[in-house]
Chain A
């Protein structure tokens, strides 16, 4: 979106929810088999001391270990999830399921996050300063997941075999994402500053996906509803879409995107009654 301006009112949700107690997790060794650490949430930390938090168990392969085997835990949690801030000081690329199902509070990861960060999160905020591995924000229901680096496959997507992905909340990716972003999405918003690869918004039913950069192919295939905006070039455009009109602004809920767009609807390859809207930058895609 070379000339486009993104006016996003969602970023205001990052505002502080009053006083927060901070728990710091400092990785203390290299991790070989990836950890399943769905206990790293403000919800399960709430009301616990550093020592109690260290005793929470995480899975590594077929065995459970206390969290303190992998992290130095500093500081006590707040009395509720909303009053708890978890700061991971270091790289968490080999730690899966951080913030899974969290309902409130905040997690800041000062490195990269492993697979499934923010899966099914209901509220609160996660900030990843590095990259996020695949399945970030899978089936997310609410809250804000802010990834400052790049993301892997399946951002905000449905679980394998499932038809419904993200239902609410917001995912912001400052870098690029890979395949199947927003697959089966029912609601909420995903904003990508960089590019995406294949199958962005596959089987989308609702919600908004904004990609400022370009996309490889199969954007919006099998979509039945919702909105996708692509600001850059789509390398290979899917055949199931029909041109509707030229637009100079896209409005979806509280989000407004200004720029010259070609509006398509579809995907008619599957259903004749599909209601998906696909906006494509006019400048970047002159041949469409």
Chain B
């Protein structure tokens, strides 16, 4: 039977079901987790003996850049990123190349080799949605979805400024359906619009050119619309002033805006069994906290402002963050924040590419190399880990590198080991610039995360945060049969032996997806089908009609025809709409 498997005698870590290292069996039938298999089914099922090993739900990456125009721009502007990192074709797998911006095939295999099964592209410009879906469709093995960039959209800025929130909500609903995307991304609200005039905004109450709307109004408007619609995930917010010394203040103030916005997640889905309430309770999902947490006034007196934001988050319950860790080495910086990348270009002089995407957003791409010898880079390394270690409740944090901005996702094993091993952090402190220790609080932290915490940061919480806990991030009955088996005995776990941890996380012993073994010790062994998730948000027909009249009116300013704007379903691998009830 396809997708039927028994994983026996492993130590299971499933935080959504409060299972902490219990020795038990996991059964999967037809791709879904079940309580048990009949003896007839057992005869046909594949069996993995996971004795002495760690078993977790398949990895869920809620923030990565793996598809679409800016990733592809990164690939084409970085030939040097490809000639040393390459993959031969096998009877089963495609060839591929690239280190920080690998080809779609290589990134699918690389993720699966590490035990990941679900990856969400965190920034889809509406006009580039087709291209993004084409790349997601070509990425093997991974279940995927994308967040639509809406923070500087002409229609939304006009609607929100005029207080026309119903039309704004109808527009968001229509855009999700039109572009087959999953949630709302907001990048440098109101600021990227100014980038078309070579400018930015630097204050939450600074209105932008022509639209006369402030970042505060955009954040407030989008977070409210998000809950009106009952979206699966909170607004994925990339705050203003990113990457500038002193930016932690505006980040903290931005987080205060959606405090009090009541969360309402209203999806028609079948929920897998979980012990913990799988509904999300956060009204804002702040992305790559590290890049948003610089204190000081210039690069000369810059220091970590993570502690201050962590204190705020520790005392409030409406915020969840992902870290944007910096594991050192080659990276490719790419974001919808055009002005931020231009600042990096003036700072580094590296080659640089940027685009203004008509009436919707902008973007920039630049190669980067994080060096241990560089004071600011070493500080960024420490700050990224502070994001995960100074916020007490692991259910408020998600581990990412903002791949490939802080570093490629293939460096996740390093980040996992740093947060689990103080000895590994000490070793790295010894190698990098003293700023890391002098200007951050990381040196005084002796917290070492457990495997249970790690399962929260890399599986349970990303799934819960983005509203995928109904099928991802847990091993409860009815969940997708996505499982990672690490060759690591939790009974003999020694955080001081960080070499062993690194080895463990680099190549999962088994990666199981939908009950199929897809990778063994990092080798791809099968290529089952994948899915693309998107939100099909339902609003009243009348509102949609009124809104569409406006859109059609303004569409004459677009470079393409209205009929060519939507992304048809055929661009998606196994399109899997999630019904969202904006009405009820």
Query: A131-161: contact bitstring with B at CB < 8 Å (1 yes, 0 no)?
Result: 0000000000000000000000000001111
* Residues on the A chain within 8 Å of B198, using CB: none
Q: Compute the total of residue contacts between A and B using a CB distance below 8 Å.
A: 16
- Interface residues on chain B, size class: under 10
Smallest CB-CB A-B distances: 5 pairs: A162-B80, A161-B80, A161-B79, A160-B79, A159-B80
A160 touching B80, Cβ below 8 Å:
yes
Q: Which residues of B contact A269 (CB under 8 A)?
A: none
Interface pair B349/A161, CB less than 8 Å apart: no
Interface presence of A5 (CB below 8 A): no
Residues of chain B contacted by A159 (CB below 8 angstroms): 79-80, 83
Closest to A158 in B: B80
Say yes or no: is A270 at the interface (Cβ < 8 Å to chain B). Answer: yes
Cβ of B23: which chain A residues have Cβ within 8 Å of it? none
Q: Does B77 contact A (CB under 8 A)?
A: yes
Bound CA span A162–B79, Å: 8
Chain A residues close to B by CB (< 8 Å): 158-163, 270-271
Task: State the B residues within 8 Å of A (CB).
Answer: 77-81, 83, 349-351
Besides the known contacts A160-B80, A163-B350, 4 further A-B residue pairs in the complex with CB atoms under 8 A apart: A161-B80, A161-B351, A162-B80, A270-B349
Minimal beta-carbon separation of A62 from chain B (angstroms): 9
15 intermolecular pairs with C-beta atoms under 8 Å apart: A158-B80, A159-B79, A159-B80, A159-B83, A160-B79, A161-B77, A161-B78, A161-B79, A161-B80, A161-B81, A161-B351, A162-B80, A163-B350, A270-B349, A271-B349
Inter-chain CA distance A162–B351, complex, in Å, is: 10
CA distance A270 to B83 in the complex (A): 28
Rounded to whole Å, the gap between the CB of A269 and the closest CB of chain B is 12
Nearest chain-A residue to B84 (Cβ)?
Answer: A159
Chain A nearest CB, measured from B90 CB (Å): 14
Name the residue of chain B whose CB is nearest to the CB of A270: B349
Query: When chains A and B are docked, how far (Å) is the Cα of A161 from the Cα of B350?
Result: 11
Q: Which of A160, A161, A162 has its CB near the most chain B CB atoms (within 10 A)?
A: A161
Shortest beta-carbon distance from A267 to chain B in Å? 13
Distance from A94 Cβ to chain B, minimum over Cβ atoms (Å): 21
CA distance A159 to B349 in the complex (A): 18
Q: Which residues of A contact B81 (CB under 8 A)?
A: 161
Distance from A187 Cβ to chain B, minimum over Cβ atoms (Å): 17
Q: Which residues of A contact B78 (CB under 8 A)?
A: 161
Q: How far is the CB of B492 from chain A (nearest CB, A)?
A: 39
What is the CB-to-nearest-CB distance from A135 to chain B, in angstroms, rounded to a whole number?
11
B190 to chain A, nearest CB (A): 34
Give A270 to B351 CA distance when docked, in angstroms: 13
* Chain A residue at smallest Cβ distance from B350: A163
Complex CA gap A87/B473 in Å reads 60
Q: How far is the CB of A166 from chain B (nearest CB, A)?
A: 15
Instruction: Give Cα distance in the complex from A271 to B77, angstroms.
Output: 23
**What are the residues of chain B within 8 A of A160 when measuring CB–CB?**
79-80
Q: Which residues in B have their C-beta under 8 angstroms from that of A270? A: 349
Contacts of B350 in A (CB 8 A): 163
A159 to B97 Cα, complex, angstroms: 15
Tell me the minimal C-beta distance from B192 to chain A in angstroms: 27
Q: Which B residues are in CB contact (< 8 Å) with A162?
A: 80
Least Cβ–Cβ distance between B346 and chain A, in angstroms: 12
Closest chain B residue, CB of each to CB of A159: B80
CB distance from B167 to the nearest CB of A (A): 46
Q: How far is the CB of B98 from chain A (nearest CB, A)?
A: 12
Q: Which residues of A contact B349 (CB under 8 A)?
A: 270-271
A270 to B79, CA, bound (A): 23
Rounded to whole Å, the gap between the CB of B340 and the closest CB of chain A is 22
Task: Give complex CA distance A271, B81 in Å.
Answer: 26
CB distance from B389 to the nearest CB of A (A): 34
In the docked arrangement, what's the CA distance between A13 and B391, Å? 59
Name the residue in B349, B350, B351 with the highest tally of chain A Cβ atoms < 10 Å from its Cβ.
Answer: B349
| Cβ–Cβ < 8 Å partners of A158 in chain B | 80
User: Residue of B at shortest CB range from A164?
Assistant: B80
B75 to chain A, nearest CB (A): 11
Closest-CB distance, B456 to chain A (whole angstroms): 39
Q: Write the chain B residue with the least CB distance to A160.
A: B79
A158-B83 Cα distance, complex, nearest whole Å: 12
State the Cβ distance, A138 to closest chain B Cβ, in Å: 10
With CB as the reference atom, state the residue of chain A lying closest to B78.
Answer: A161
Distance of A180 from chain B, by nearest CB (Å): 15
CB distance from B186 to the nearest CB of A (A): 32
Smallest CB–CB gap between A15 and chain B, Å? 33
CA separation between A160 and B76, bound complex, in Å?
A: 11
Name the distance in Å between A234's Cβ and chain B's nearest Cβ: 26
Interface-centre pick from B80, B81, B349, B350 (highest chain A CB count, 10 A): B80
Q: B94 to chain A: closest CB distance in Å?
A: 13
B582 to chain A: closest CB distance in Å? Answer: 46
How far does the Cβ of A96 sit from chain B's closest Cβ, in whole Å? 13
Residue of A whose beta carbon sits closest to that of B82? A161
Most buried by B among A162, A270, A271: A162
A146 to chain B, nearest CB (A): 26
**Which A residues lie within 8 Å of B77 (CB)?**
161
Closest to A162 in B: B80
Contacts of B79 in A (CB 8 A): 159-161
Name which residue of chain A comes closest to B351, CB basis.
Answer: A161
List of B residues within 8 angstroms of A163 by Cβ: 350
Q: Which residues of A contact B83 (CB under 8 A)?
A: 159
Q: How far is the CB of B74 from chain A (nearest CB, A)?
A: 11
Within the complex, the shortest CB–CB distance from A217 to chain B, in Å, comes to 23
User: Shortest beta-carbon distance, B257 to chain A, in Å?
Assistant: 41
CA distance A270 to B349 in the complex (A): 9
Closest Cβ neighbor of B89 among chain A residues: A62
Cα A159 to Cα B81 in complex, Å, equals 10
Inter-chain CA distance A86–B81, complex, in Å, is 32
